Structure 1
Amino acid sequence: MTDVADRIGNVTRQRYEQLVGQAKELIAQVARAQFSLGDMALEIEPMRSVGGSMPNGTDDLFTVTESL
């Protein structure tokens, strides 16, 4: 039987380290996915020049959602 000091929460230290490692990998996957999605979005709709959504000085709001 394992000693209470060998446990973190309800799991053994070994299982804790395993779970933390898996959690870190999942977080890294999410971060990579977010950057990849951003790159894809920029390919579809590149950044606009200075002036943002109204570069011609018009009052018409042209959003990325509208362009897509």
Structure 2
Amino acid sequence: MGREAKREMVIDCIRHLPATFRYADIERPCPEVNRPTIVRVLGELRDNGEIRCTKGGRDATWERTTQ
């Protein structure tokens, strides 16, 4: 599976999660995607204003800002 396919898998997963989610909520359904890829996608979506981090740190919580 290529880099772009993994990126799309993470984005699709996030779009199907509840509005508020944690990193582990992405990691469970996407075990073949490594941590740096998930972090990179979260950063891209944050920079695009699609999600925001509502609680930082080890147990960071994210929230979708768009549907």
TM-score class, shorter: under 0.3
Question: Which gives a bigger RCO, structure 1 or 2 (Cα 8 Å, sep 6+)?
Answer: 2
Q: Comparing both structures, which one devotes a greater share of its residues to strand?
A: 2
Give 1 or 2 for the bigger CA radius of gyration: 1
Provide the TM-score with structure 1 as the length reference: 0.28
